[in-house]
Structure 1
Amino acid sequence: MRRVVYAAPLPLIFLLYLQLVSSQLPSDQVSAMIRVYEIFQNDTGPGPSFVWNDVGKYSNPCSWKGVYCSHDNSSINKLSFSLFSISTSEFLSPLCNLTTLESLDVSNNQLSSISDEFFSGCGEVSGLKLLNFSKNKLDGSLPTFNGFRMLEYLDFSLNLLKGEIRLQLDGLDSLRTLNLSHNMFTGTVPTNLGKLNLLEELQLSANLFSGEIPAQIIRYRNLRLIDLSLNELWGSIPQELGELTRLETLLLSVNNLSGGIPSSLSNVKTLLRFAANQNKFNGTIPSGITSYLGSLDLSFNKLTGTIPSDLLSGSNLQSLDLSYNELEGSIPADISTRLFRLRLGSNSLNGTLPAGSLGSLVELMYLELDNNSLTGPVPSELGMCKQLALLNLAQNRLTGRLPPDLGNITNLQVLNLQLNKLLEKSHHRLQC
């Protein structure tokens, strides 16, 4: 007797599969997401602005936009609610039930506050590693974090937060990246940023921090990035910063810092970018500071003396800006062939342009030597700088005719030679 095997219709199999997948999420996580769904819907309305308008409240949360689950859909691991048009923080409390949550991104919304319940009740979400509240309208002081032992990344940048930072972050044992830039924090630069001292990136730019740069910052030996620019800091740069052997980027621009540039920074072999422009630094530039640097910006200070002979020759050096200082002497002849930007304008430099070196700068795009006391002719070797887009030699004492080789620079967009002693007829023969 022949057996008859009945195959279930494909649509039925698909529905059974969906039901199985949905049932793999723990009930408390499903309930939490249903509550979040309701809060978002009430906040933005049921129309097109509601980001989950195309899915049902009781559908599988793993299929919702911004919800990321494990490979078998058995847990919710990541929530990305960026640009969801959220204005209420009520949805945060239900998320405390997502014990498997590792990452929460609510950036680019309209949040003006965060409920205290979140910081007091969600601290025990054991796996939470990332919190991003950037680009909202958060007001008031920075909350105190209780728990959050595994939190590695915290971003409150581009908000309206104010007040001092003291011990609010001291309990974050695993903190590696902290971004509080573009707020209105006051007081001194905080140094209580996790008891295990694991911090790698400290971004505090564009606030109202004052006082000196604390030498205690070197307790965070893993620091790769320090950005204290656009504040109201004063005093000198601590020599101790030279002990941060993993530091890659140091940004101190637009403050009221003074004193000399510490020579200890030349010992940091990992340092690639150092910017301290628009301060009140004085004294001479230490020799060897560009041994490893790729970018150095010390413009708009009060630096004096000559340019060290080795300053332009760093093997990694690509950008150097010393404009608007009080430097004197000649331009060093030994220049890195990797350089694409050289700005030495508005100083008191004299002597002739280093013709031999200029011809080898095949990557040079911006050369600004204006408002100095440079003499002699414009070197024909500049015509070999094929990538040059901007050449500013104005307000010097250059003489002679312009070399026709400059016409070979096909990328040249800006040429400024005014207020020199060049022969006028040579201008008409130049075709860029």
Structure 2
Amino acid sequence: MDKVILKTLVVCSGNFRDHFPVDQVPENTTVLRVIPKLGINTLNLGPSLRQLNSLQELRIIHSTIPNIGQRTLWGLKGLKILDLSFNNITRIVEYNFDGLSSLRQLNLADNSISSIPSAAFHHVEQLESLSLAGNQISDLATRIFYKLNALKTLDLSRNNLLVIDQEIFMDIRNLQEFVCVECGLRSLKIEFSLRHLRVLNLAGNMIQSFLQIEPHILRTIKNLDLSRNQINLLTALEIPAMETLHLEKNNITEMDRNPLEPSSKLRELNIAFNNIRDLSGLFLSSQPSLQVVDISGNMLNQDQVQSLLNLTPGLTSLQAAGLGLVSVSPSIFQGTEHLEKLNLSSNLLTDLQPGLIEALPRLVSLDLSLNLFGGLEAGFFNSVSSSIALEMVYLQGNPWICNECKIGPLLDWLDKSLMYWGTCFLPSSSSCLRCAEPSNLRRTPVSQLVRADLNSCSDPQPGFNSMTADVSTWSQFTVIAAVATVSFVITLTVVSRYRHYGVYLTGEKESSGGLEEILDNPVYALDRNQDSYVNLKYPSPI
């Protein structure tokens, strides 16, 4: 029979000034959390906490505690979790933790600690997790982690360290996770083995090359985050154990041929928001283990996306936002029947080819927001309604043209579907589908339209938004070319007609609409009622 451990939890969410009423807390309390819901506390740690000798977890957050004090928590031998984050602690000394022999987790993040002496934590030899993130530490003392042989997780993020000497890791060789986000690091060189290290997060630093990380570290890492660094070349990596690799928001423009091939366990790859224009050399053979890929924010065409999909048959999530795609053929998803999440937002799509939903039978989420859809065919919405797996289609942020033929299929679908029910209750809701055209309906929620009041499809002078929603990219070029040609012919005709005329200064006042006006503005000479008159309506900001 399993042993049942009963815990007494006390949560204090009010505001306290200078004094916390420990005497009102039951002596058998095992979990005490002092976390104000609003504002901050003004507290000092005092020896009165010792009377709660059954404590296993103590969290005092947002309470402006200036220091921990000498042996303040002495006698709390059963305390396993101590969280003093978001306070004003400025320094740590070794006697702060004297008597806490059972402590496993210590969180001192987001204080104002600027210095920590050597062996500051030697009283808490059982410590497994330590966070010093968000302080003002610029230098780590030699043997600072002395006797922390049991430490598994260390977070030094948001300290301006610049350099971490390898001697720092001498006493924590059993470390499994090291996090140093935004530490100003340019490299991580550790000559000796950290054979248990599996998670390495160095996001937001100044690392320019994989060569600046010790190769033997990369060989054992399972999860590596080097996002928001300054890497410009994806070199061939020896990462046989890698499962998750984050390289987003670097400046990668080139990659070695087949750089990730040695990794047969890679499940998640994020190379979003770089300057990658070619994916053909990323993989040369099938990657059946790869399930999640994010290629958003790179200039990649449909063929590049297809080359990736052809080698990732087990893919369940594809983030392909902001690639500049003007069309997506259902055929590129052939062989990716496991895909559950597809993000095509922030592209230049104006319509969808039939069969996209049918090509992805397990699709749960489809993001088409922030494209150039002015309307979608009824067949698309019929496919959405018929899909057994599909739970959400994101359509917000498109320039919907609210006339009968363009918005009709969407209105019919909204009447039957609950996906967008209630999204326009709040005026500022970003999920609300709104009209872009005509101008008298701009910003009107689509769900509030009255079909009888909609313009017919033949109404003249569509705006630029509706034009881009009606035609494909090539059609847009054709229209622009036609308009330019007509303008050129008109100009040439007018100039040719008056090329022999001389202009003499007689001192007489020119009449309004004379020859000078015609030469300066040939369109001026056209009658607005003539068939050749071109009226270009430029869009107003939405």
Which residue is 2:75 aligned to?
148
Which residue is 1:274 aligned to?
200
1:381 is displaced (CA, Å) by 1.2
1:355 is displaced (CA, Å) by 4.8
Q: Aligned partners of 1:130 and 1:154: how far apart in 2? A: 6
1:241 is displaced (CA, Å) by 2.2
1:36-90, Cα deviation, whole Å (9 max, x unpaired): xxxxxxxxxxxxxxxxxxxxxxxxxxxxxxxxxx99xxxx995421156474745
How many residue pairs match? The answer is 338
1:225 is displaced (CA, Å) by 1.0
SS of the counterpart of 2:203? coil
| Aligned positions of 1:156-195 closer than 5 A | 156-167=83-94, 169-172=96-99, 174=101, 175-182=103-110, 184-189=111-116, 191=118, 192-195=120-123
Which residue is 2:270 aligned to?
342
1:324 corresponds to which of 234, 249, 255: 249
Distance 1:143 1:156, change over 3 A: farther
Q: Aligned partners of 2:109 and 2:145: how far apart in 1? A: 20
1:273 is displaced (CA, Å) by 1.5
Larger Rg: 2
1:132-169, Cα deviation, whole Å (9 max, x unpaired): 13345344333332433625435234443232223451
Distance 1:143 1:216, change over 3 A: same
1:132 aligns with 2:58: yes
Which residue identity is paired with 2:206?
A: K
1:391 aligns with 2:317: no
Distance 1:166 1:213, change over 3 A: same
1:366 aligns with 2:293: yes
Which residue is 1:92 aligned to?
22
Contact kept? 2:272, 2:298, Cα under 8 Å: no
Which residue is 1:48 aligned to?
none
| Aligned positions of 1:413-424 closer than 5 A | 413-415=342-344
Q: Aligned partners of 2:76 and 2:354: how far apart in 1? A: 70
Contact kept? 2:273, 2:296, Cα under 8 Å: yes
Which residue identity is paired with 2:292?
A: M
1:260-302, Cα deviation, whole Å (9 max, x unpaired): 222548x323222211111123442443434333311011123
1:177-206, Cα deviation, whole Å (9 max, x unpaired): 211223x3231356512436332211122x
Which residue identity is paired with 1:322?
A: L
Q: Aligned partners of 2:347 and 2:13: how far apart in 1? A: 53
Which residue identity is paired with 1:197?
A: E
Contact kept? 1:368, 1:393, Cα under 8 Å: no
Contact kept? 2:238, 2:262, Cα under 8 Å: yes
Distance 1:104 1:332, change over 3 A: closer
SS of the counterpart of 1:222? coil
TM-score where L is the length of structure 2: 0.51
Q: Which has the larger share of strand?
A: 1
Q: Aligned partners of 2:301 and 2:115: how far apart in 1? A: 44
Query: Which segments of 5 or more consecutive residues in structure 2 lack a partner in the other structure?
Result: 358-542
Which residue is 1:248 aligned to?
176
The range that moved more, 221-230 or 129-138, is 129-138
Q: Aligned partners of 1:268 and 1:82: how far apart in 2? A: 39
Could you say what the CA RMSD is over the residues aligned between the two structures, in angstroms?
Answer: 4.3
Q: Aligned partners of 1:323 and 1:144: how far apart in 2? A: 45
Q: Aligned partners of 1:374 and 1:209: how far apart in 2? A: 45
Which residue is 2:143 aligned to?
216
Q: Aligned partners of 1:390 and 1:281: how far apart in 2? A: 25
1:385 is displaced (CA, Å) by 3.6
1:368 is displaced (CA, Å) by 1.9
Which residue identity is paired with 2:199?
A: R
1:296 aligns with 2:224: yes
Q: Aligned partners of 1:272 and 1:406: how far apart in 2? A: 34
2:158 corresponds to which of 230, 249, 266: 230
1:211 is displaced (CA, Å) by 0.8
Query: Which segments of 5 or more consecutive residues in structure 1 lack a partner in the other structure?
Result: 1-69
Q: Tell which has more relative contact order, 1 or 2 (C-alpha 8 A, sep 6+).
A: 1
Sequence identity (%): 13
Distance 1:405 1:115, change over 3 A: closer
Which residue identity is paired with 1:287?
A: P
